[in-house]
Amino acid sequence: MKPYVYITRKLPEETIAEMTAHFDVKMWDHEDIPVPREVLLEEAKKASALITMLSDKVDAELLTAGDNLKIVANLAVGYDNIDLETATKRGIHVSNTPDVLTETTADLTFALLMATARRVVEAAEYVKAGKWESWSPYLLAGHDIYSKTIGIVGMGKIGEAVARRAKGFGMDILYHNRSRKMDAEMEFGAEYSSFEELVSKADYVVSLAPLTAETRNLFTADVFTKMKKSAIFINVGRGPVVDEQALYEALVDGEIAAAGLDVFVKEPISADHQLLKLPNVVALPHIGSASTETRTAMIKLCCTNVNAVLSGDRPKTIVNKEVLR
């Protein structure tokens, strides 16, 4: 029998052709609706490989549902949805999709920064609502970007790509990371900073930090009070790094000027989420890497990793390298 591969969302047939030629492949029937938990558990009992989304909970129950599972290929850079310890103990490869989405996500990050700073969404809705009846000097006036200071929290490859764009806007660049990035300091003139100094000095605080025990609830009420009142907060990393109630109160109380958010603590968020009621919030549905070209490349990388593992080879991008020993 051919190895069985289950994919938790409906993907274009042409993107998985490499796998369907060699394996028995089945997909969930919907592109936008998540696979029900009970269905995924049943599929995991017989699957040799799973291609999962960041929103799929790949916990110990799922990883131990069957005896055939050899790889979980996550269609994302992040993998905090996966119980890595259990996967490693069971010899299950876990792969992700780094690098191929770096520039696309950096584009979205800077687009969100610009849209929030210049009140682009608010202005577009103003026109559509028929409110534009005259011109005035401060009509929907926003904030300059050129020559301001950007503070990047999480200076991975995406952070470096954002810094490259910030340099083109003549911005001063501060960054905070677990380790210094000397190449970024040389190339972009970026300055390493403590977290406390960064949030107090930056005009734009951009979170690209991964979700870890250390970063969960990193942005608290105390942190927002230390920011400039004119500061704009951008999050394209992970939602749970932010205390959303504290962010809401900071925006309402004028502790910071605005926020641009592509990620939230719980996704998808409901239409009545309190942050969506604020005019100084630009909210996006977690589309950091959502260009056609990049999503296709991510899918193909997942397929490449699955093909490799099920053929007895080393995956191209693996998270838990311990299983290779």
CB half-sphere exposure, 226, CA atoms < 13 A: 14
Q: Is 122 a catalytic residue?
A: no
Q: Is 286 a catalytic residue?
A: yes
Find how far residue 125's CA is from the centre of its chain: 26
Q: Catalytic residue, from 238, 244, 255, 295: name it.
A: 238
58 near 40, Cβ under 8 Å?
no
Q: 23: Cβ–Cβ under 8 A, 6 or more apart, which residues?
A: 2, 3, 4, 5, 48, 49, 306, 310
Q: Catalytic residue, from 93, 119, 286, 295: name it.
A: 286
For 253: left if phi > 0, alpha if psi spans -120 to 50, otherwise beta; the answer is alpha
Find how far residue 155's CA is from the centre of its chain: 14
Q: 184: Cβ–Cβ under 8 A, 6 or more apart, which residues?
A: 155, 160, 163, 175, 190
User: Which tokens belong to 244?
Assistant: 């959303």
Q: Catalytic residue, from 30, 267, 314, 322: name it.
A: 267
Q: Is 30 a catalytic residue?
A: no
Give the angle subtended at the CA of 151 by the CAs of 148 and 154, to the nearest 5°. Answer: 155
Q: Which residue has the tokens 């577009």?
A: 124
Q: Which residue has the tokens 């900073």?
A: 193
Beta bridge partners of 207: 153, 235
Q: Which residues are catalytic?
A: 238, 267, 286
